[in-house]
Structure 1
Amino acid sequence: MASHSNSDRVTRLFGTLPGNVDVVALSPGETLRYFTGLKMHKSERPTLVFLFRDGSPVVVHPELEGDRIEESLPDAERYTYEDATDPVIAAQGAFERLTDERTIPEPIGAEFRSTRLLEREVFAPDGEEVVDVENAVAAVRSRKDDGEIERMRTAVEIIEGIFQDVFELIEPGMTEIDIETEIKKRVMESDADAYGVGIVTSGERTAHAHANTGSRAVEDGDLVMIDAGVIYEGYYSDITRTVAVGEPESELVEIYNVVQEAAAAARDCVEPGVEFQEIDRAARTVIEDAGYGEYFPHRVGHGLGLEGHEPPYLVEGNDGTLEPGHAVTVEPGIYVPGLGGVRIEDDVVVTEDGSAVLSTSSRDLRIL
């Protein structure tokens, strides 16, 4: 799949939307960055970019952001405001100047997941109709092009290399925080933009599927679960490996083997036309048949890209289908309270005739 320009992406977006939605309001966030190249964080000063089915973008923004917006959207019409007073009221004034000069057709589309009430107070203060464009945005963003996939592949290569280095350092007495610190140090020394996601647990704490990295010290016989990723040129990696420090209990080895089989079964299902929920079912069947069904409490995976978690979601009830360009995680796990847990997570891209697993490090139980 070739790379797409921002204008191509906007065209695809409106091709997915109902015909009565001719304008979409985007606020700072990853969707705005995806469609315009404009990278901004949300603040108390509203910024809104209006994309039109026909015509160039229009931006309402604080005056102090002018240089940034000019660089990314040189052809956009801009309505600025000073924020020496209440920035929302000032932004409303700028929007009123916009509507005095041109018609903004209703309904306005907006992504409810990322648009705050603060922004809605600017462009729809009197209850004007606003349509959620979440599904249309997800349909476009989830189909990664070649350039996006290559960025993700590089992000995976970076974190896998860091994992291999850090595995060599883990020993009894190190704390979970010590281990994560070693990961973060190497991320800072790498080509990555930033550390993306991160959880390190050990021993009985591996039974917590999601937990904060803690101060527990690793002991001989522990499992250590590391879930981490980096951001490279805006795109995430997200992988999990579970290793043993010394010989683990036999049931932990059994659990590991079941998760390894479940992960392989799920990865093998990833191909165009397969329902999202079927990937979850493939892993869950293996885990349930082994008697651990009650200890697999989460979906098997999620989309990956400009965000660490984004559509599509591989979960029971989601009967949408995988398409070429979808990038997802596959991450079954078993978590037994009082004993420990195992998760194996890989990043997978759907291709025209199957799938490509971006993460290549061994999934066999590694005993350090």
Structure 2
Amino acid sequence: MANAITTRRTDRLFEELPVGVDTVALSPGETMRYFTGLDMHKSERPTLVVLFRDGPPAVVHPVLEGDRIEEALPDAERFTYGDATDPVEVGREAFDRLRAERTVTDPIGVEFRSTRLLEQEVFAPSGEGAVDIEDAVSTLRARKDPEEVERMRTAAGIIEDVLGEVFDLIEPGMTETGIETEIRKRVMESEADGFSVGIVTSGERTAHAHANTGERAVESGDLVMIDAGVIYEGYYSDITRTVAVGDPDEELREIYDVVQAAAAAARDRVAPGVELQEIDRAAREVIEDAGYGDYFPHRVGHGLGLEGHEPPYLVEGNDATLEVGHAVTVEPGVYVGGLGGVRIEDDVVVDENGADVLTTSSRDLRVL
């Protein structure tokens, strides 16, 4: 395997899987990277890393990807194929060689959420013999180890520094796209791998919980809501701050105070053993008591890590419990059509004492 960390993760994966599932097939994506260290893009040429309960991994891959795979998985047995009119057909032939040599038997564990039909056509054309390992994968990926947490902390710090600089530039007449451009420029100049998410809305458009950044020019008295994050060494940050350009409407100030209190209540509720839905309830109770319950249309948060959105989800009905190492966003919001909206989003990791809040910038209303 790539290193001791990925070996340990693979061992834990098979501990989570039922007896009889002795083979796992991973297609390109975050889960492949998590368990093997191999960062492969999806292409028209199928690639599969095959993990075994006993024995070294194997890789089915096109010949031209050999150097990349050798670097990440030098001890893996490789079953290659060349370019052909039908890459699935030759990929299947390579997998059949693997199946015969390594005595691969059904069922084969596969992550249904991310495995494309392209790869399925290689190892299980009819779909028979494949079993979903999503629950086991999600359980393991959700428990961040200290190295993962520090990468996420760095990612959070990078975007907070960037937003701090950009806030100083915002003024009436600046467009939403202009603001996002300034964010992107600074992310490119930072140590981040890249920009992960960007939504900038202003004025009445802040009443849209999710919207594309637009061409609207900021006016005096507007709220500006920025949802942004970066990727650092593969790990995401995701933060939202809402600021005012000049003095905002009195009701918008009231909404801001309500959301700020709701966000604090939710963060304070984060602790090992607490049901995920309880974090949502903590924020929602504050918002409902203030009379804005109908204007909070989304869950209070989601998991964060190798993806911007991943399990666990902080939503009503999810009675699973928080565990040490879970990394989540806490992001209540209130959005009133024709007026505007507010969201405050932080990145939080569960530790033995409660919430380790990775985002540290002020949550008080900043008036620019």
With the shorter chain as reference, the TM-score category is over 0.9
Q: Is 1:19 aligned to 2:19, yes or no?
A: yes
Which aligned segments of 4 or more residues in structure 1 are displaced greater than 4 angstroms?
A: none
Q: Quote the residue 2:58 is aligned against.
A: 58
Give the Å deviation of 1:189: 0.6
Distance in 2, matches of 1:335 and 1:4, equals 47
Contact 2:99 2:105 in 1 (8 A): no
Name the SS of the counterpart of 2:85 in structure 1.
coil
Q: Quote the residue 1:158 is aligned against.
A: 158
Unmatched runs of 5 consecutive residues or more in structure 1: none
Distance in 2, matches of 1:218 and 1:318, equals 39
Summarize deviations over 1:273-325 as a string: whole Å, max 9, x none. Answer: 00111000000111111111111000000011111111100011111110111
Summarize deviations over 1:221-246 as a string: whole Å, max 9, x none. Answer: 00000000001111111000000000
Contact 1:259 1:287 in 2 (8 A): yes
Give the Å deviation of 1:328: 0.4
Contact 1:272 1:323 in 2 (8 A): yes
Contact 1:325 1:350 in 2 (8 A): yes
Question: What CA RMSD, in Å, does the superposition of the two structures yield over aligned residues?
Answer: 1.0
TM-score with structure 1 setting the length:
0.98
Give the Å deviation of 1:85: 2.0
Name the SS of the counterpart of 1:79 in structure 2.
strand
Alignment-mate amino acid for residue 156 of structure 2: V
Distance in 2, matches of 1:4 and 1:282, equals 40
Name the SS of the counterpart of 2:51 in structure 1.
strand
Number of residue equivalences? 366
Q: Is 1:44 aligned to 2:44, yes or no?
A: yes
Contact 2:304 2:329 in 1 (8 A): yes
Distance in 2, matches of 1:51 and 1:262, equals 44
Contact 1:236 1:307 in 2 (8 A): yes
Contact 1:4 1:145 in 2 (8 A): no
Moved more, 76-85 or 275-284: 76-85
TM-score with structure 2 setting the length:
0.98
Distance in 1, matches of 2:197 and 2:4, equals 27
Summarize deviations over 1:145-198 as a string: whole Å, max 9, x none. Answer: 111011000111110011110000000000000000000000011010101111
Alignment-mate amino acid for residue 294 of structure 1: D
Summarize deviations over 1:60-87 as a string: whole Å, max 9, x none. Answer: 0001000100110111111000123211
Distance in 1, matches of 2:232 and 2:253, equals 34
Summarize deviations over 1:313-355 as a string: whole Å, max 9, x none. Answer: 0011111110111110000000011110000000000002212
Q: Quote the residue 2:332 is aligned against.
A: 332
Q: Quote the residue 1:149 is aligned against.
A: 149
Unmatched runs of 5 consecutive residues or more in structure 2: none
Contact 2:26 2:111 in 1 (8 A): yes
Map 1:220-299; keep pairs closer than 5 Å: 220-299=220-299
Distance in 1, matches of 2:98 and 2:359, equals 48
Q: Is 1:34 aligned to 2:34, yes or no?
A: yes
Distance in 1, matches of 2:105 and 2:96, equals 14
Name the SS of the counterpart of 1:24 in structure 2.
strand
Contact 1:26 1:50 in 2 (8 A): yes
Q: Quote the residue 2:361 is aligned against.
A: 361
Distance in 2, matches of 1:241 and 1:127, equals 45
Contact 2:30 2:307 in 1 (8 A): yes
Distance in 1, matches of 2:10 and 2:335, equals 43
Give the Å deviation of 1:114: 0.5
Alignment-mate amino acid for residue 299 of structure 1: R
Alignment-mate amino acid for residue 175 of structure 2: T
Distance in 2, matches of 1:128 and 1:335, equals 46
Give the Å deviation of 1:4: 6.4
Summarize the Cα distance change of 1:4–1:138 in structure 2 as closer, same or farther, 3 Å threshold.
farther
Q: Quote the residue 1:201 is aligned against.
A: 201
